[in-house]
Structure 1
Amino acid sequence: MAAKFGAAAAKAGKAASSYFGSGLVKAQLVIMEPPAKSGAKPGGRLATVKFQFNPNKLALSKSVEWRRKPARMAGQASLPEFVGSGPRSLSVDVFLDATAEHDNSVEERVEKLMTACVPTKASLAKKKPASPWVRFEWGTAKSVSFDGVLAGLSVDYALFDVDGKPLRATCSLSIEEAGVGTPGQNPTSGSREARRTHRVVAGDSLPQLAWREYGDATAWRVIAEANDIDDPMVLVPGTELLVPGVVGERGEDR
């Protein structure tokens, strides 16, 4: 299946290049230094992974969280209460092909993508480990171009040289929006000290929630202390957590 997809992507890419000529805009993934503090923009550019072939499909999603209280009457339904909206998520497949040159370009590009999954040297030096932020760019496209983090990366190698060197690969990327505006605020309140609640779903963790709310995964202790939680990685689905308001640089409420 991956080989068929790769061949189709390569064929489509070559056909598009022939049709549009030099005016064809190539997609790319920009890997950036994470923000220096909560609420800040990402730092300098660490690397740019240029796509050999433009994707033929992009999947964009965004969730909205609602809360309902049980209705007293069986024939009635309670009105949903808006809790908040989740981040945008973008899924894209990147096809890599080195059959013409038989070089190491496939592995080199995969390794470059992998750097977006591990803490940067600068964050380690500051003793605040954080992986890079990324941004998918493709010409003038706006809805799929946003600052985020790489939430998932899988690589499917489909063709190998006689010495075992990978020649073709399909990389599936999942990018989750990480930009923060006014973190920790309840949509119904204008106060900077406002708090809101979050209902735990399967797969949630406090570092993940802290990153989503404050742009700083290390701020999970603020949420843990507010809810008397000992293990930040073990949360019971359905539990309602209190999420404190804006967090300062030292992790306290401001």
Structure 2
Amino acid sequence: MATWLSLCGAVVIVAYLLGSFPTGYIAVKQLKGIDIREVGSGSTGATNVLRTLGKGPGAFVLGLDCLKGVLAIASGYYLFDFAASQNLIPPTVDINLWQPWLVILVGSAAILGHSKSIFLGFTGGKSVATSLGILLAMNWQVGLATLGVFAFVVAISRIVSLGSILGAIAVPIEMVILHQPLAYILFAIAGGLYVIFRHRANIERLLAGTEPKIGQKLVTETEQQNA
């Protein structure tokens, strides 16, 4: 049992480190020589990269951040396959019961890593793209449905944050409709609330009518005062 628990702990740590990899920060630093945390919303995510560098780098960072989530969940599945092949899973462990809970633990670690990166002094992004990758790896139907909600809202409103928030709200509903395990549904609720919490500044701007649309620059309070 000790070996099994150690393996589970190691996979969770790996997932956190994967989520922590600062793709947006590195992209902006390399291409523009600035710290993305000091411009726009201060987020290291794809939306702020889009505002800072444009569509190409924004899409590139979006894809890599999504891949981090996919790899994190894949590591959880790989653990079970490896442990089973090496007879490391104790007889008392019900794989069908354990696996969904380990998967959401790994997913949660990746989300936390993206928003609280150990490489950036525990700052980061809002975990939307990484969450999408996690959903695609957990259940591709839920992932695609969430992406559809996001894309539809952004196409209509041209506001990325609104698409992210409504996508986060849609995930638990999709999980229930597709009869996913209880662990996944609870993860969807908790993860959705966390993503929405990370967007609290965006929500304030949405309510005030000042949230920028695609192609517009985010005007900070300091810039407004100096205008």
The normalised TM-score by structure 1 is 0.29
Please identify which structure carries the higher helix content: 2
Please identify which structure carries the higher strand content: 1
Where relative contact order (Cα < 8 A, 6+ residues apart) is larger, the structure is: 2
The normalised TM-score by structure 2 is 0.31
Bigger radius of gyration? 1
